[in-house]
Amino acid sequence: MGADLSGTRDPATYTVQKCLHDYFEAKGPSWKSAADAKSRAEGLIIPKLGDRVVARLTSDELRSWLRELANQPPRLRSKKGRPTRHAEVDMDEPEIVRKRQASANRTMTILKAALNHAFAEGNYPPPFLWRRF
């Protein structure tokens, strides 16, 4: 995941990126969906929320991010280091809208699992407003 993530787990500086890193480390390499989860984290979660301090996340912020994610066309595979490309789809078609929402929800599930893991490990204290989401 790029950045140096070693060191403290101080709640005042514990970011979403560190949270995801800790979660993937805890899951281990034999985790069946690790590649998909890491790809989603690196492409969809970290660019928007990676620098956010976990203890300061709000449910409104997550709803806004999820809505934005669901309204984006699907990403196309691209080589590492290349700009993200998106498929050309009709975002007004009901089936496309359903699929995009389902994909956004899968990504949110990864983020929530990482946040729950961080809380269980004691890496940030209540109040954790994102849990109301």
Q: What is the CATH number of the domain that holds 57?
A: 1.10.150
pLDDT of 81 strictly over 70: yes
Q: Which residue has the higher pLDDT, 132 or 35?
A: 35
pLDDT of residue 6: 43
Partners of 85 in the β-ladder = 76
pLDDT in tens, 28-38: 877 778 888 99
Residues present in the chain in total: 133
- 45 occurs within a structural domain: yes
pTM of the model: 0.81
- 52 occurs within a structural domain: yes
Measured between alpha carbons, how far is residue 22 from residues 16, 28, 42, 68, 71 in Å? 10, 10, 14, 26, 29
pLDDT in tens, 87-122: 687 778 889 889 989 999 999 999 999 998 988 888
pLDDT of residue 89: 74
- 4 occurs within a structural domain: no
DSSP H or E run through 103: helix 94-120
Percent of the chain with pLDDT over 70: 83
- 5 occurs within a structural domain: no
pLDDT of residue 67: 94
Rounded CA-CA distance 130/86 in Å is 29
The DSSP annotation for 105-123 comes to HHHHHHHHHHHHHHHHTTS
pLDDT of residue 3: 44
- Name the domain count of the chain: 1
Find the domain containing 25 and state its range: 16-132
Q: Please state the rounded mean pLDDT for residues 72-91.
A: 74
pLDDT of 22 strictly over 60: yes
DSSP H or E run through 76: strand 75-76
> Six-digit token pair at 65?
């991010």
